[in-house]
């Protein structure tokens, strides 16, 4: 006798003699069957997890051999992972006796409500697809999104989110939907990046000599791309200083190291040449 019939008879008050005894006699076998199903379901789940890990590993290796970008590999891996786990869930429900067709029908009938509930997630998924297709940036690029000013090096591009590592080693997680619908600056978009180091010298200093000293730094630096414009020029006549600008181009991978080195070398070279670096000051004339 099924459990539902037993409960129905209790509620209706039509419980016949011997029904309780029959139910109690069948209870151990039913509990054993249920326990076996749960145990097999757990075993199937663990096997499914191992298979999913194996499939993802094989997929990553094949994409690496094909030369796919890190961002594409990360995106496809996260998408396949989500799809396989959903498939595993349906398999386990079917094994447990749940009618998956009914679940699909229920999901379809509640489509509007579900769409409203996961609208943000769908937007992020669509944004991730657009990022993969249009490639405004890739893993390893330094970007700044203009809406909130978040900036950092792209470390992961997943199906819903993109992760940045900031210069102070923090992790910023940005929704793909926001990234795909906002303006952003990709500082690593080109192989070369322009450097501007501005130095203020005193109005009493030898301007031509100062320009020669700074230009020699550019000439002697092997990392400066000589095929592109590099020069030293007067950028501004400020209140307390003549602002000289050292402008050149470096490869992206050495930009910051060379910028810091050039800034330090400019100070040392001007000191050695006896050229005063200006600082804010006020001259008072008494009559």
Q: 187-227: per-residue pLDDT in tens?
A: 888 889 999 999 999 999 999 999 999 999 999 999 999 99
113 strand-pairing partners: none
The continuous run of DSSP H or E covering 237 comes out as strand 231-237
Nearest residue to 145 via CA among 163, 132, 121: 163
Q: Which pLDDT band holds residue 1 (cuts at 50, 70, 90)?
A: very low
Residues 118 and 57 sit within 8 Å (Cβ to Cβ): no
**Domains of the chain by range and CATH?**
17-109 (1.10.287), 120-186 (2.30.30.60), 192-272 (3.30.70.100)
pLDDT given for residue 10 in this prediction: 47
- Dihedral sign computed on CA atoms, order 149, 151, 157, 162: negative
- The reply to whether the predicted model has a pTM over 0.75 is no
Q: Which residue has the higher pLDDT, 181 or 99?
A: 181
| Interval 15-68: pLDDT, tens | 455 555 665 566 666 666 777 777 877 888 888 888 888 888 888 888 777 777
DSSP per-residue letters across 132-174? HHH-S--TT-EEEETTT--EEEEEEE-SSEEEEE-TTS-EEEE
Quote the CA–CA distance of 96 and 40 in Å, as a whole number.
Answer: 9
């Amino acid at each position: 006798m099924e459990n539902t019939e037993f409960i129905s008879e209790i509620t209706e008050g039509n419980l016949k003699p011997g029904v309780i005894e029959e139910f109690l006699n069948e209870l151990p076998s039913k509990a054993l069957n249920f326990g076996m199903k749960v145990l097999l379901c757990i075993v199937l789940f663990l096997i499914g997890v191992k298979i999913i890990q194996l499939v993802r590993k094989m997929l990553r290796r094949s994409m690496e051999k094909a030369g796919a970008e890190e961002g594409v590999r990360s995106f496809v891996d996260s998408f396949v992972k989500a799809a396989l786990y959903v498939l595993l869930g349906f398999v386990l429900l079917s094994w447990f006796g749940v009618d998956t067709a009914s679940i699909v029908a229920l999901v379809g009938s509640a489509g509007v409500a579900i769409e409203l509930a996961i609208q943000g997630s769908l937007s992020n998924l669509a944004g991730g697809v657009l990022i993969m297709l249009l490639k405004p940036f890739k893993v390893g690029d330094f970007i700044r999104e203009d809406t909130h000013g978040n900036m950092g090096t792209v470390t992961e591009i997943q199906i819903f989110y993109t992760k940045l590592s900031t210069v102070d080693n923090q992790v910023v997680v940005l929704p793909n939907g926001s990234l795909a619908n906002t303006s952003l600056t990709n500082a690593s978009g080109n192989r070369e990046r322009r450097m501007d180091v501005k130095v203020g010298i005193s109005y009493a200093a030898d301007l031509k000599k100062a320009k020669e000293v700074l230009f020699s730094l550019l000439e002697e630096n092997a990392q400066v791309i000589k095929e592109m414009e590099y020069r030293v020029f007067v950028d501004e006549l400020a209140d307390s200083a003549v602002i000289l600008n050292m402008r050149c181009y470096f490869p992206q991978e050495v930009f910051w190291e060379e910028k810091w080195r050039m800034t330090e070398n400019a100070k040392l070279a001007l000191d050695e040449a006896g050229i005063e670096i200006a600082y804010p000051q006020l001259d008072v004339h008494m009559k």
